[in-house]
Amino acid sequence: MDEVPRESPPIAFGERSRVVEGFRAYGLIVAMWLRSTMAYRASFVMTTFGNFAATAFDFVAIMLMFSHVDSLGGYSLPEIALLYGVSGTAFGLSDLVLGSMDRLGRRVRDGTLDTLLVRPVPVLAQVAADRFALRRLGRVTQGLLVLGYALVSLDIAWTPLKVLMLPLMVLSGAAVFGAVFVAGAAFQFFAQDASEVQNSFTYGGTTLLQYPPSIFAKDLVRGVTFVVPLAFVSWLPALYVLGRDYPLDLPQWVAFLPPVVAALCWVPAGLAWRAGLRAYRSTGN
């Protein structure tokens, strides 16, 4: 009785079970890397601090700028800190969950991607969880600290909507950056050693969002609103919280779009990933 061979799930089961399976696999691989990380605690503490310090330097540079001026592009330091905190935390979360994706190009080059393909687990989950680096919490912590500083020092007339906006924009922002990570990884199926292009959209994107839109050229703002919709990560929702005018004369309700935009971003990202995986030809041995 107990020797009945288990069947593999029928295909009609379809997408949902693959998604669940993907999350489960992601969790298992992450747990494995966590155990191995915790084997060298001192090293973990050092690298987490390093991650924290590396990102903190950006904000130190902004504070040094404000030792010479009272406002930048018409924005005060606490206002910029809010933009910085939201974008930094959103990007940090996304980097924590999916930051390993930029190793895909190397895997394609050295052929180790093949190992992942033969396992009965979604490749995306394996690539994303590969070498999961908890030290990236350093970046999240730094973003949260700056966000905390902004919230303490800003004088905002809080409404329930504005309060709700804070977790909403951080999580939606993380999802938007996540889509960029996946799309960037998909690009590496075709251009194997071009992971830096991904960096310009992820690291470059978060750097851009740390400053107010008023200092950038209109065309650049249009690009990050309508083409790669990073403006929905922090600018538009945060300007709503700050009660500031939006760039490009956008209507007020766009501040509430981040979850929709995030969901929409995952469609092309997912399609790109599939196309990349399908086009993949092993380098062979």
Using CB under 8 A, list all residues that contact another protein: 43, 46-47, 50, 53-54, 57-58, 60-61, 64-65, 67-73, 191-197, 199-200, 204, 207-208, 211, 214-217, 220
Structure tokens at 121: 């687990």
Distances (CA, A) of 47 to 41, 55, 61, 133: 10, 12, 21, 10
DSSP string for residues in 154-177: ------HHHHHHHHHHHHHHHHHH
**Min. distance of Cβ 105 from another protein in angstroms?**
9
**Min. distance of Cβ 95 from another protein in angstroms?**
16
User: Which residue, 126 or 139, has its beta carbon nearer to another protein?
Assistant: 139
- Residue 100, C-beta contacts closer than 8 angstroms, at least 6 positions apart: 127, 128, 129, 130, 131, 132, 133
**Min. distance of Cβ 216 from another protein in angstroms?**
5
User: If phi over 0 gives left and psi between -120 and 50 gives alpha, with beta otherwise, what is residue 205?
Assistant: alpha
Instruction: Say if CB 273 and CB 186 are below 8 A apart.
Output: yes
User: Which residue, 17 or 112, has its beta carbon nearer to another protein?
Assistant: 112
**Min. distance of Cβ 127 from another protein in angstroms?**
19
User: Which residue, 256 or 280, has its beta carbon nearer to another protein?
Assistant: 280
User: Which residue, 63 or 271, has its beta carbon nearer to another protein?
Assistant: 63
